[in-house]
Structure 1
Amino acid sequence: MLPSRRRNHCAALKTKATAEPDSTLTKAVVAAGLVANPVVLVSEYFLKTTGEGLPPGPGGIYGATEGISYLVIVGVVGWSIYTKVKTGSGLPGSFLGAVEGFSYLSLVAGIVVAALVFAEKGSLPGITG
């Protein structure tokens, strides 16, 4: 009886990894990614031009949004890599594919900006000094 449960569990994971286009999870990821990517890109612009991320804002809402947005980007990229390894292809096209590509762009831009700021200042504010 245990092997059949294991098979069903693996099938459930495969279904989640393939991201059904009309699933609630897919819609939530698309919505979160469409909000998170512009926030991250604005944050990276602020980091490059001022040397700091977004200001905390009233009640810390801007800083919290920035932090959550970075987590969403890392989550989308991680899901994309996991799906690529498991299925041999990335996330499905349409809005989810666009969010995936935009998330990779945001991640690479963040790495480049962090490297530039580190080269200019010798540290990253709030992280290395």
Structure 2
Amino acid sequence: MPQKGDEFLPLFEESGIYITGKHKLLSKEEKEKAINIARFFKPKHPAFMVFLRAPKIIHPTVPTKFVNKYYRENAKFIKLQSSDGREWLLNNTGIYRGQLRLGNGWARFSNEMNLKAGDICVFELMREKDFVLKASIFKI
């Protein structure tokens, strides 16, 4: 049974989008924006959502359930792709305390994609073997 504040989680599960436990810290407006994304954005591959809450997020984390199901530790890098075909290689920092962080290279991706606090990123797993993630950015 969902805990208070988790009522919207089944929508994400139905959409195939994983989210971190930090969703409990979201404002009402942020939750509404995330719910609208989950309703209308239907990823073709397993996906997870990252909420950009601070102006500069150093290393966002991948939801634990997503990591447990899809992540392979032998991937030397994590590759991010934008919808326009650009790519960024992130160092694979490995799992620390059960979490996988999008490591060195995130700042470059964030700057080049002009990410701001309030933006939401959905990452689709395009290739599991070498952990290639396609980024879809939803601006504030």
TM-score range, shorter chain: under 0.3
Which is strand-richer, 1 or 2?
A: 2
Bigger radius of gyration: 1
TM (normalized to structure 2)?
0.21
Which is helix-richer, 1 or 2?
A: 1
